[in-house]
């Protein structure tokens, strides 16, 4: 297993649309193991392959209190979203130390392959529903800050580019 480097916004590679996984084989199982280790080490409650510069449709999520209930979604598709909406202050491992409110569907039904390549359907609400939508956005090349106002996005980009320059200068 390995901890993988996470891309940081505004890296252009975060806007790549991930391709479907053709076969859930040993290579994908190794990717899932590395992504889970990376998510738990961060720590985070989700991670999409896009964030580790792998542009295939793979997501890991664990919203349990004890971080011991890993959910693996391969080629996830949202089949249904509730009309009811919820606002949550989201974070993102690709946008460190930034939290802001995002409105999303409060419930979703999702179809995905599991780690054995079996098709599963799950219904989710609460933080799991929010996290699933956040991670599928990553696979579609969308970062949560794109839901914020253009002014907030532009200020954030300027601040994060400056931070990245400073970090490189002292490294
Ligand atoms: O996709 C990611 O960048 C992971 C992200 C998932 C997420 C968080 C909140 C709302 C929607 C999606 C994170 O895990 S950010 C870190 C975080 O929320 C957290 C970290 C440790 C303990 C509890 C939460
Ligand atoms: Zn994220």
pTM of the model: 0.97
From 91, 133, 146, the mutation candidate for ligand 1 (largest count of ligand atoms within 8 A of CB) is 91
Task: Say what the pLDDT of residue 98 is.
Answer: 95
Q: For position 109, what pLDDT does the model report?
A: 98
Start-end of H helices in the chain? 26-41, 126-139, 150-170
* Residue 46 near residue 61 (C-beta atoms within 8 A): yes
Ligand 1 center from residue 99 Cα (angstroms): 10
Tokens 């907030």 belong to residue: 152
Instruction: Identify the pLDDT of residue 164.
Output: 86
Residue 135 is among the residues annotated as catalytic for this protein: yes
Extract the runs of DSSP E, i.e. beta strands, from the chain: 46-48, 58-61, 71-81, 85-90, 100-105, 107-113, 119-125
Cα-based angle 36, 62, 106 (whole degrees, multiple of 5): 135
Mean pLDDT for back-to-back runs of 10 residues, the chain (171 residues): 95 98 98 98 98 99 98 98 98 96 98 98 98 99 97 94 89 83
- Nearest C-alpha neighbor of 17 from the set 44, 47, 48: 48
């Amino acid at each position: 297993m390995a901890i993988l480097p996470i891309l940081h916004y505004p890296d252009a590679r975060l806007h790549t649309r991930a391709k479907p996984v053709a076969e859930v084989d040993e290579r994908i199982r190794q990717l899932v193991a590395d992504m889970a280790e990376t998510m738990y080490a961060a720590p985070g409650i989700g991670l999409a392959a896009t964030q580790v510069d792998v542009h295939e449709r793979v997501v890991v999520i664990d919203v349990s209190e004890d971080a011991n209930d890993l959910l693996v979604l391969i080629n996830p598709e949202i089949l249904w979203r509730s009309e009811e909406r919820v606002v949550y202050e989201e974070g993102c491992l690709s946008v460190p130390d930034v939290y802001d409110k995002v409105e999303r569907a409060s419930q979703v039904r999702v179809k995905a392959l599991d780690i054995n390549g079996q098709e599963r359907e799950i219904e989710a609400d609460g933080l799991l529903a929010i996290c699933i939508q956040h991670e599928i956005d990553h696979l579609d090349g969308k970062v949560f800050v794109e839901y914020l106002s253009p002014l907030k996005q532009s200020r954030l980009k300027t601040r994060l580019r400056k931070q990245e320059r400073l970090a490189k200068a002292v490294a």
